[in-house]
Amino acid sequence: MLIGQVLSAQNSMKPEETEVWEPEPKVIQPGLYTAPPSDAIVLFDGTDFSKWRSERNQGEVQWTLNPDKSMTVKPRSGGIETREEHGSIQLHIEWKSPTIIKGEGQGRGNSGIIFQRRYEIQVLDSYQNRTYSNGQAGAVYKQYMPLVNAMRPTGEWQVYDIVFNEPLYNEKGVEIKPGSFIVFHNGVLIQNAVEILGTTEYIGKPKKGRDLMPDYGADRVKQRTLLLQDHGDLVSYRNIWMRRL
């Protein structure tokens, strides 16, 4: 099938065609928090947004800086991205859903951590909140459901520790080795070295290629920055650091 035919078929798909509802990950009780190692690059410690910029215009961050050294999404202001690009990394990030519960499914505490602006690990209030399994918290969005649901109650801090191995490409931008994710949620392994199938898409199938971008986000900037998504909900983040691999 030609590329044009593939894209035409994908554009005719509906979002629910790539939603997986069964099986549902088992609910378990999570463990404890962690602290950054000595060689970590601190991306956010609660003092300022110096390592970040707006995804929309690469200008100043419009999100809220909180007294407790966290930050909160300012709905409809756009996502924020790191000023520097990244390759393979270990990422530690803590996040919290709004304490005032509104909506259900994908409409509750929705955000996302998007590696190289292409590959999303879902952020969602999945505590006693059913949605499609490959779109709940800890999912590699629309590709892999988490092994278990390790959510703490709504309003408590959640912890992700993620190992991202970037895909490798040849000089023509064709993928020659797929990337992968290892994800711990509150100290519990929920993604075990899963192979990234391509860009994480809201509608349609993953796309492969160095210069392809997913069909979400305000921009199509082909930079490999780390992006925190503004999905319109008051999700908070704190204690963000990474180690280059």
The CATH number of residue 18's host domain is 2.60.120.560
Sign of CA dihedral 226, 165, 118, 71: negative
Mean of per-residue pLDDT scores for the chain: 91
User: What range defines the domain where residue 88 resides?
Assistant: 3-244
pLDDT in tens, 207-224: 999 888 887 654 566 789
pLDDT in tens, 143-167: 999 999 999 999 999 999 999 999 9
Domain tally, the chain: 1
What pLDDT is attached to residue 101? 87
Residue type, 219: D
pLDDT in tens, 23-49: 999 886 765 566 788 899 999 999 999
pTM of the complete model: 0.88
